Chain A
């Protein structure tokens, strides 16, 4: 510790800016990790809190996916003597078009039994509404809202709220305002209670419920009851504790969690290079100091410990700052994540408070320190091995072992051979990821060699552009590969990440556009909800008939889609008239014979599954697949696999007749409308509005609207992943600033000479700028090369573990070209500070600088 105070602290004080830049890598990595995970946890925790608060005394919940189930199920459950109370529930998130414009969670319950499970503590209103549930039921326009919601929207007792119900606009009356309590704080306080039978009409649920909440009779074991009910109801029903719903939500947000991990690990990995670079440079610069300390009696172990302790302290300070920063950004991320999950999966969720897990924070702290220590390990060892005699001799400053790059090249060659063999056994997950990891290591080992070659290659070009500045800038890179290789590695990794993301984005957009062209070819889409991922409201079956009769409609196709649990994961099924689909939107089978696929599926003799479903759940063509329905298990073979992008978690297409039979549900989510040749979309919109005006809740999307909506969601998805890009580029910029700061210190005399022989300030600045550009260009070129490999692995990862989508490999050339100005500008930006520092130093001191 004494050495740390005497030597390290003095060095840190003298190079405060560089120390801060070095720490910035850790700060960012930890901040991203904490920010993204805390946001994820906050959204999950908000969901769990909502579930928990709404659950009240509920011990078990019965569901059948999103499709709901018939009322008679309730009777069967209630008839079980071990059930103390069982009540039906419909739950939906709607926008009431009120002042705050925020969504509200409508909890529709049967007041006669529900008060055994939940407490409705009225602050204002007619107590008889609650005291006598029949009063509430007798007035089906009753609504109870929370104090928070009422205050925010200026509502009082007897205020009227108009809700666009399935059978047209309905006016509800606020008959109770609930006191702030556990229940009312669910969904951020935006909660309304409605009678369940009114809700069935409002939401178009026919005579179905979403869920049954129940409590066991006294003395009955809940797990026993759970088993009993599961056996009675059959595999089509889930009987779970309320907390199990959190797991399903977690499963939906798992892709985001994985993304958070990749992003933060990548940021830390890049940060590691910056730390390595800084320490490697510090060891070189402090050679004589180390030599003196060694000559005075310090052991190798003490020197190594000195540098490692320095790095640990740096890591600790950086990680602590990262924690604070991460918690700061978690709120903003959680808000957008909540919306994002709502848009993509239709599970609206809001996180009003950031909930941080102490284990996560501790883990992030440890991660920051460990990253820093690992990064400093090699420089610390090289510091310990410094020979005091040599270190005290002048002129041996910053010599890179000539054999160093050769050894690295040899190691890289060996690793590439191993990677090559890994490719043959890539179906094994461990071998695949090992191959990826070894490819990254081999690539990084090659960076100094590639950087040197490229620097030499661009020297004539730079000399041609600016004979003095260009030459000196290129030479600076060539002469100090150790100084620049860290920054180049960090930048190359960032660029590789960007290219792999860009390649995935491009492949995704290409594939989605092609899929939309075939699968989404109707002229119009009619839905009862504002967006197609929200399935709170449903049309009755008769609605399609009404539309069909409108002059100008050539054809209608009805779609019912919902999530059901498959292997414990909520997957999407799409029920549609398969024969009609074959005629109008012929998606070819990528496995199986297309004709027989459509024929068998239309006859109810098979499932058609999307390729991502097949990939994620290891489902194979022609093998049987079992879906659990409310009326019992439905087992059919997979008659074909198609490329379908309906859902990120995979989708199963079945014929509508099969669905209606097994799910006993004829409601509709979407009506696809084809027009005849003489009718325009505008004309048809007017006719539909005229026909259903005021009698049906309806949103009309044109073909372009829907496609634009899907592209918007895809943009959001890639927008989220581009956080990675921003973080990576930011860390890389920090790397360049760090390298240049060191470079101008190293080259102080050179820059002084340059000024002494007549270089103007502008010319010195240009030297630094050109050096930054050279680092940028070299990093960019290596990154573009690495990106080609990273793209292959990213597409494989996407197919295997993220979305199950097999996308075509297409190198994103446009993005590669677009990156050139971005990186050059970023490098120039990074060079601004160091360049000013270079011209502001005293000339006399610079010329005397040793």
Chain B
């Protein structure tokens, strides 16, 4: 499902920083993988490259067989919106939109008809147990609820890949556990490939496969 071949990412500035150095990685369809490592190890960079938010300096990345290198920005966006759902640490909900509107957002961008969008958004919010919060604005929700909305939004088209960047990093431990449980439940029900970047050992260990990064290299890849 996700394939990285000799992927490097360098940031040029006064001093060049190598965030990822010739990384090779295969993640199969339906896997649930955690990505751990200290700050600056390159895990968020790796997630951004897999999510098509950024482009590698070298190497190839394939998502569901599609090579990301060389495609236009709009093509990359299309791949992202059809195959990848994002969950961010700071939720990144649009503050002026209600829960229903936030979840509807990616569907509108795909040009779905209004009635279908409405049905799907309600269905997703029910899936994350927020069916009673449809018309609430993000500022009216707790942190956990906001992350549930963000998860519902990430699942809007039931993408085959779900990328989560510290999904529990901004939540208290109890809420974090709830969110992790929800992600696991969705993974099992929807059979999506899930990649979670985390600092939290508990979250990492909850994933069947764990990958550790250090100084831009994969230093551990453990299954089971």
Contacts and interface: CB of A to CB of B under 8 A. Distances in A.
A467, A752, A761 — most chain B CB neighbours (10 Å): A467
Contact of B48 (A476, A478, A844): A844
Given A472-B94, A844-B54, A847-B53, A467 B77 contact: no
A647 interface: no
B97 A471 contact: yes
Interface string B59-99: 00000000000000110011011000010100011111100
A315 to B, nearest CB: 36
Contacts of B97: 471-472, 475
A758 B82 CA distance: 8
B101 interface: yes
B108 A844 contact: no
B92 A847 contact: yes
Interface in B102-145: 104-106, 108-110, 114
Contact of A763 (B48, B86, B109): B109
B146 interface: no
Contacts of A479: 95-96
A843 to B, nearest CB: 5
A761 B77 CA distance: 9
Nearest to A840: B73
Nearest to B95: A479
Given A756-B51, A757-B109, A471 B78 contact: no
B74 A757 contact: no
B153 interface: yes
Contacts of B156: 757
Given A758-B109, A758-B110, A763-B109, A750 B74 contact: no
Interface in B165-224: none
A571 B53 CA distance: 75
B94 A758 contact: no
A471 B114 CA distance: 14
A754 B81 CA distance: 11
B48 to A, nearest CB: 5
A308 B95 CA distance: 34
Contacts of A756: 51, 53, 80, 86, 92
B109 A472 contact: no
Contacts of A755: 77
Contacts of A762: 74
Residue of A475, A478, A753, A755 with highest tally of chain B CB at under 10 A: A753
A471 B154 CA distance: 20
Contacts of A757: 81, 86, 105-106, 109, 153-154, 156
A760 B105 contact: no
B9 to A, nearest CB: 10
Interface in A471-487: 471-472, 475-476, 478-479
Contacts of A759: 77, 109
Given A750-B94, A847-B53, A847-B88, A758 B114 contact: no
A749 interface: yes
Interface residues of A, number: 26
Contacts of A750: 94
Interface string A828-844: 00000000000000111
A468 interface: yes
A762 to B, nearest CB: 7
Contacts of B105: 468, 754, 757
Nearest to B74: A760
A472 B80 contact: no
A756 B80 CA distance: 8
Nearest to B72: A761
Interface residues of B, number: 29
A472 B92 contact: no
Contacts of A471: 96-97, 101
A760 B108 contact: no
Given A467-B114, A468-B108, A471-B97, A758 B80 contact: yes
A758 B86 CA distance: 10
Contacts of A467: 104, 108, 114
Contact of A753 (B73, B94, B110): B94
A466 to B, nearest CB: 8
Nearest to A756: B86
B78 A760 contact: yes
Contacts of A760: 74, 77-78, 109
Contacts of B74: 760-762
Nearest to B51: A756
A738 to B, nearest CB: 22
Nearest to A750: B94
A843 B54 contact: yes
Contacts of B92: 749, 752-753, 756, 847
Contacts of B95: 479
Contacts of A843: 48, 53-54
Given A479-B95, A756-B92, A761 B73 contact: yes
A478 B96 contact: yes
A317 B101 CA distance: 47
Contacts of A844: 48, 53-54
Contacts of B93: 753
A594 B171 CA distance: 89
Contact of A475 (B77, B96, B110): B96
Nearest to A747: B94
A479 B108 CA distance: 22
Nearest to A753: B92
Nearest to B81: A758
Contacts of A472: 94, 96-97
Interface string A742-774: 000000011011111111111100000000000
Nearest to B157: A758
Contacts of B88: 753, 847
B134 to A, nearest CB: 16
Interface string A559-585: 000000000000000000000000000
A493 B86 CA distance: 45
A757 B81 CA distance: 6
Contacts of A475: 94, 96-97
Nearest to B165: A847
A113 B125 CA distance: 105
Contacts of B77: 755, 758-761
Contacts of B80: 756, 758
Nearest to B45: A844
B106 A758 contact: yes
Nearest to B156: A757
A472 B93 CA distance: 12
Nearest to B163: A756
Contacts of A761: 73-74, 77
A758 B73 CA distance: 11
A596 B109 CA distance: 78
A182 to B, nearest CB: 67
Given A757-B86, A760-B78, A468 B54 contact: no
A758 B81 CA distance: 4
A847 B92 CA distance: 8
B51 A468 contact: no
Interface in B27-65: 48, 51, 53-54
A749 B89 CA distance: 13
Nearest to B75: A760
Interface in A454-498: 467-468, 471-472, 475-476, 478-479
25 contacts: A471-B96, A472-B96, A472-B97, A476-B96, A478-B96, A479-B96, A749-B92, A752-B92, A753-B94, A754-B94, A754-B105, A755-B77, A756-B92, A757-B81, A757-B154, A758-B78, A758-B80, A758-B109, A758-B110, A759-B109, A760-B78, A761-B74, A842-B54, A847-B53, A847-B88
Given A844-B54, A847-B88, 5 more contacts: A467-B104, A467-B114, A757-B156, A758-B81, A844-B48
What 7 A-B pairs are tightest by C-beta distance, nearest first?
A758-B81, A475-B96, A468-B108, A467-B108, A757-B106, A753-B92, A843-B53
Interface of A: 467-468, 471-472, 475-476, 478-479, 749-750, 752-763, 842-844, 847
